[in-house]
Amino acid sequence: MAKLAGKVAVVTGGGSGVGKAVARLFLDNGARVVIAGRNADKLRRAADELNAGDNLQYTAADVSDPRQCETLMRTAAEAFGGIDVLVNNAGTNLKDRTLRELTPETWDRMIRANLDGAFYCIRAVLPAMLARKDGVIVNVVSVAGKRANPLGGAAYVAAKFGMGALGLVLSNEEKDSGVRVSNVYPGEIDTPILEHRPSPISDAQRAAILKPEDVAEAVLFVAGLPPHVSVPELVIKPTVQMYW
């Protein structure tokens, strides 16, 4: 039986990487999906590749803008009759990421894209979930939100710690409301964000790390559990990656 049969999901950062893999797996498991991202052309190409007909729509939205998040959720709800699952996957990083290199402008951009965007999307979708007494919010965080390793950079790590805390607080606040919140913390993933690494990674390292489909399986797992089950935190990492 399809784990998400009849469900409607919104996936931010859905044009590539983990977001696109989540959308594909959700569609395969019976969901209708809206993918969102800043680049409409990228979303259109992803939609063509996913080839899910009327079960998939895309909407260009910058999650760092609260008004665009509200429009995204309203558009998705109008298209499919409501939103059952929100996957907060949108995020970014930059090459000049050490504290010495960060500027107020780049710090603000990292926080808005990686933390504020999750809050804005949650704020836009939560009232309807509360009214139905049902809903799942999955935050794709990062092990950088559990371990303050300099690899991710100060602003990215700070934002991901904040995103994780946001999810945990919301999970506890809404434990009796029917809304469940899960934080998924992936380790290194072979996605386009690697292009922003200060130093390129080798082909051997790229082959050894997580693939977007691996993380998508984790997201499906927590999103597809029955209403009486909640997974507050799930860490998934490459076997070869240290976790300390």
**58 given a catalytic annotation:** no
What single DSSP character describes residue 229? Answer: -
Tell me how far apart the alpha carbons of residues 14 and 37 are, in angstroms, rounded to a whole number.
Answer: 6
| Catalytically annotated residue among 58, 120, 156, 185 | 156
Intra-chain end-to-end CA distance of the chain, in Å: 38
C-alpha distances out from residue 96 to 66, 81, 154, 239, Å: 26, 43, 10, 28
Burial 126-162 (b: 16+ CB within 10 A, else e): bebbeeeeebbbbbbbbbbbbbeeeebbbbbbbbbbb
Give 88's strand partners: 139
Tell me which residues are annotated as active site.
156
